[in-house]
Amino acid sequence: MKKSLLAGITLCLLSACAVSPTGRKQLLLMGNNDVAQMGLSSFQQIKQKEQVSTDPKQTRYVQCVAQAITQAIPAQFANTNPGQWEVVVFDSKEVNAFALPGGRIGVYTGLLKVAKNQDQLAAVIGHEVSHVLAQHSNERLSQSQVANMGMAAADSILKDSTTKGPAMAALGMGVQYGVLMPYSRAHETEADVLGLQLMATAGFNPKESVSLWYNMAAASNGQAPMEILSTHPSDQTRINKLQSLIPQVMPMYQQAQAGGVHPQCAG
């Protein structure tokens, strides 16, 4: 039993190894169609739970920015780009947005009070769409599957041990804070990188991403959790990283502008 569990984990790791768009190794155990179906199902549940905005001006504005972003997706993402993206605005004070596999984007009206212009909104949408393009949902689900297999193997190995309880508790904490959360922070950083490239290619000023996160930091009122216990980088860590990336993506923005790409989305 012990050998078969360990062999199963090893086989998963060897057979599902992939490389992310930024060159990071990924574990992907699920097919794109399966993940897309899960995304569509989740989106339907969210639409049933949340109130959809009836403000046509807000909806047109968000859809305009989202369309500019999704039309700029490079051909290299053909396998994860659904082509047609449904964009829904939710009437809520929550400062949030998301994108799901299967081509679904949700933006909460609370975000529009923090993202002060089309470029800042593009930074958010570009970031969320990048999660989909880089298959982060698939990776997170795959990590959880392997973590569960590892816990099952440890439980079998320690079955007759007097230290099983403390050991399993420590292992659980190690999996949560030493594997799953840091990976999620890696996803956030990767989505920032890809999102900047995407918004710049779509003709939005990437410098506004830094302004956006200063706005986010102000809106949080210092209530964000410690970075080590969070699935997101701290505001300052994110701002510093974005500032370091701006010189790399400004030529993409300037090329888009020179080529006549000038999004005009009225907020």
C-alpha span between 83 and 104 (Å, rounded): 11
The one catalytic residue among 128, 139, 188, 190: 128
- Distance of alpha carbon 144 from alpha carbon 142, whole angstroms: 5
Q: What is 183-206 written as a DSSP string?
A: HHHHHHHHHHHHHHHHHHHTT--T
Pairwise CA distance, residues 191 & 152, whole Å: 32
Q: Is the Cβ–Cβ distance between 41 and 189 less than 8 Å?
A: no
Phi, psi of 78 (to 5 degrees): -55, -35
Closest CA relative to residue 109, chosen from 118, 96, 122, 120:
96
159 φ, ψ to 5°?
-50, -40
Active site residue 128: yes
Helices then strands (H, E): number in the chain?
9, 5
Q: Which sequence positions are flagged as catalytic?
A: 128
